[in-house]
Amino acid sequence: MKKTILAGALALTVLAGGIPAAYAKINLGKGVSALGNAAQALTLTDAQMAAYAKESVDWMDTHNKVSDADSEYTKRLNRLTEGLTEADGIPLNFKVYEVIDVNAFACPDGSVRVFSSLMDIMSDDELLGVIGHEIGHVAKHHSKKAFKQELLGNALKDGMAAAGGVAAQLSQTQLTTLGQALAGAKYSQKQENEADDFGYDFLKENGKTPWGMVMAFEKLDSMSGSAKSGMIDRMFSSHPQTVDRIARMTKRCQKDGIERPAK
Distance between CA 107 and CA 148 in Å, rounded?
11
End-to-end CA distance of the chain: 29
Buried b or exposed e, range 100-135, using 16+ CB within 10 angstroms: bbbbbbbbbbbbbbbbbbbbeebbebbbbbbbbbbb
DSSP 112-148: EEEEHHHHHH--HHHHHHHHHHHHHHHHTTHHHHHHH
The amino acid at residue 192 is E
55 as an active site residue: the answer is no
- Residues ≥6 apart with Cβ < 8 Å to 229: 10, 101, 102, 103, 220, 223
Distance between CA 148 and CA 4 in Å, rounded?
26
Between β-strands 93-97 and 111-115, what pairing exists: parallel, antiparallel or unpaired?
parallel
- From 126, 134, 150, 192, the catalytic residue: 134
Task: Just list the catalytic residues.
Answer: 134
